[in-house]
Amino acid sequence: MDKPSQNKILLKHFEQFGTITPWEAIKDYGIIRLPSRICELRKIYNISDEWIRFTNRYGNPGKYKKYKLEGIK
């Protein structure tokens, strides 16, 4: 049986949960280069993103992107 591509995995995740973050992609699917996969998917789908700001356990600020599938172009 063929393994699903990372893009197919991401589309299924979007279908189930609506959004994805880099940490979710790494933790749940082993997808390290999420921005590259999103770039590929944006050729067919409308995917929005937003910066999420946080403070880490040492009090330092950080940010990451959260991606949302809006629909097909």
Segment 63-67 mean pLDDT: 97
- Phi, psi at residue 4, to the nearest 5°? -65, 145
Please give the C-alpha separations between residue 54 and each of 4, 39, 49, 64, in angstroms, as whole numbers: 33, 24, 16, 8
pLDDT interval class at 72 (50, 70, 90): confident
Please provide the average confidence, as pLDDT, over all residues in the chain: 95
pLDDT of res. 4: 84
Segment 45-52 mean pLDDT: 98
pLDDT interval class at 22 (50, 70, 90): very high
pLDDT interval class at 1 (50, 70, 90): low
